[in-house]
Amino acid sequence: MQAYTVEQVAEMLSIGRDKVYYLLRTGQLKSIKIGKLRRITDQHLAAFVASLESMDEA
């Protein structure tokens, strides 16, 4: 399993850091906390992208 920082995810998705925090805050993107650090796993990222694809098909 791979875990990414908010900044890494923002770069991967070509969106801003604030947008990633918004997605986390609204529950659209899941994450884990390790102490004070927030990390987004590859499974969280895959689930988020899959949810976008299913919304696109609807």
Cα three-residue angle 15-42-37, rounded to 5 degrees: 75
Quote the percentage of the chain above a pLDDT of 70: 98
pTM metric for this prediction: 0.87
Q: By the 8 A CB rule, do 16 and 10 touch?
A: yes
17-55 pLDDT, tens digit per residue, is: 999 999 999 999 999 999 999 999 999 999 999 999 887
- Given a cut of 90, is residue 56 above it in pLDDT? no
